């Protein structure tokens, strides 16, 4: 068996066309990998030397090489609607409304100025000259305001900012007036329970331990015992001053569903109830290198909630934690929304000095961030860890306890994920 054109083909040609000898093809493959790897290595080091001399080149390269992820391709509904099911960015919607109001006010002011100028044509020349100066001052002022509006800085990227609950639309606040109340939030007192004949008592107790002032009560599993319904449990909890009721359901002896029912006191009907599915549940003890929790009130981070439905979910979770966290405990609970999945994490953190071998923190633009040089934040996960997905929002206590035409506020359906770049939260 002889060689077939051993050196005639280019480096990018198929090795099977260069030789039919298997051993020779292996040698050619190794040689080709070494050649391409060496060329990339030299190119990478040459680029690094050039960027060390001119940091502007690195910044331009990082700005140009942005990955085209699904999050960056996210689309919004082009409507002026802030209802519960609308997929609109409330920050952008508010900005558009303010700009439209400013433009209308400017147009009205221009109309008033032009009308006054036409009326002043028949007045005395001396008085008219003074009013012309005033008109010129008004025009200069309007031009200055327009320049200032044109130079307004854009907002930060949504991935680097927390959820702003102040953007809650008036319609959503009226619809859930007890949840979005202007009064200071009361200290949360939460009752946690499970489904009937449950076996996930340890997991439910661990979820209850995350929430301050939470109490876990088992539901009766005896065959002769009374099977209390969710509405009876909610009435029991309301009479004893509880602010929320959490029900953890199971599937194959693992947490599979979480229902959060808000109790609005004895003077108002309970609701709303938000139902989530639980995926990838992992207890704290199963996490490698986990820490032990303390009794301090944790800090709460809500990231990535931008739509009216997202603000409703964020506000619902916000009411489960005290408004004044204890910073000395150095514990933080994070709910990060990404593609309508809520990643739940709990950590302990500590600030320390950066080691000599550690580099400074670099932002998304490739530049070192000011104010954090020489500082590092160490994280230790406490647990539990899980992923939530919102499935439905009911007016009252779940599906059975909601009545009326608007009993079902929102429900997830499979067709909502047909378009991969459209998200609800």
d(CA 26, CA 23): 5
Per residue in 304-333, pLDDT (tens digit) is: 898 999 999 999 999 999 988 998 889 999
Contacts of 53-59 spanning 24+ positions with Cβ under 8 A: 55/366, 55/367, 58/366, 59/365, 59/366, 59/367
Per residue in 106-137, pLDDT (tens digit) is: 888 777 666 665 555 554 444 444 444 455 56
Which of these, 322, 298, 304, lies nearest to 164 by C-alpha position?
304
Lowest-confidence range among 14-18, 21-25, 170-174, 387-391? 14-18
What are the φ/ψ torsions at residue 272 (nearest 5 degrees)?
A: -80, 170
- Looking at residue 137, the DSSP 8-state letter turns out to be H
Predicted confidence (pLDDT) at residue 4 exceeds the cutoff of 50: no
Cis omega (within 30 of 0) for bond into 126: no
- What average pLDDT does range 277-299 have in this prediction? 92
Average pLDDT, the chain: 82
Output the pTM of the full model.
0.77
Residue 232 vs residues 118, 121, 216, 229: alpha-carbon distances, Å = 74, 79, 16, 5
d(CA 343, CA 70): 17
228: tokens are: 């209390």
Sorted by sequence, the CB contacts under 8 Å of residue 140 that are 6+ apart come out as none
HSE (side-chain half, CA atoms, 13 Å) at 405: 0
d(CA 314, CA 308): 10
d(CA 234, CA 266): 11
């Amino acid at each position: 068996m002889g060689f077939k054109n051993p050196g005639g083909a280019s480096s990018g040609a198929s090795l099977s066309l260069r030789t039919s000898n298997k051993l020779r093809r292996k040698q050619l493959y190794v040689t080709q990998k070494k050649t391409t790897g060496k060329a990339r290595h030299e190119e990478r080091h040459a680029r690094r030397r050039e960027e060390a001399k001119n940091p502007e080149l690195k910044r331009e390269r990082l700005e140009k090489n942005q990955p085209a992820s699904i999050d960056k391709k996210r689309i919004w509904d082009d409507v002026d609607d802030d209802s519960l099911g609308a997929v609109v960015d409330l920050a952008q919607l508010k900005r558009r409304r303010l700009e439209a109001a400013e433009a209308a006010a400017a147009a009205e002011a221009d109309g008033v100025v032009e009308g006054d100028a036409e009326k002043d044509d028949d007045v005395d020349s001396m008085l008219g000259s003074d009013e012309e100066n005033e008109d010129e001052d008004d025009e200069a002022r309007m031009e200055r305001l327009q320049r200032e509006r044109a130079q307004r800085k854009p907002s930060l990227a949504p991935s680097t900012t927390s959820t702003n609950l102040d953007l809650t639309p008036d319609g959503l606040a009226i619809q859930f007036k007890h949840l979005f109340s202007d009064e200071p939030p009361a200290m949360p007192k939460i009752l946690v329970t499970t489904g009937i004949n449950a076996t996930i008592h340890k997991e439910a107790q661990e979820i209850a331990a995350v929430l301050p002032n939470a109490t876990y009560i088992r539901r009766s599993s005896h065959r002769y015992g009374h099977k209390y319904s969710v509405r009876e449990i909610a009435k029991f909890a309301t009479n004893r001053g509880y602010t929320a009721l959490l029900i953890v359901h199971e599937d194959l002896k693992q947490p599979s569903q979480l229902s959060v029912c808000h109790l609005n006191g004895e003077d108002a009907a309970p609701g709303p109830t938000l139902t989530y599915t639980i995926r990838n549940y992992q207890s704290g003890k199963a996490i490698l290198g986990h820490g032990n929790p303390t009794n301090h009130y944790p800090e709460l981070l809500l990231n990535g909630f931008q739509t009216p439905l997202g603000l409703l979910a964020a506000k619902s979770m916000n009411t489960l934690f005290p408004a004044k966290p204890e910073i000395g405990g150095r514990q933080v609970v994070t709910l990060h929304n990404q593609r309508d999945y809520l990643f739940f994490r709990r950590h302990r953190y500590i600030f320390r000095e950066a080691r000599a071998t550690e580099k400074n923190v670099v932002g998304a633009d490739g530049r070192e961030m000011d104010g954090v040089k020489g500082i590092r934040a160490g994280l230790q996960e406490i647990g539990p860890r899980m992923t939530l997905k919102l499935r439905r929002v009911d007016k009252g206590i779940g599906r059975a306890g909601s009545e009326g035409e608007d009993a079902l506020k929102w429900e997830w359906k499979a067709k909502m994920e047909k378009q991969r770049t459209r998200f609800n939260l």
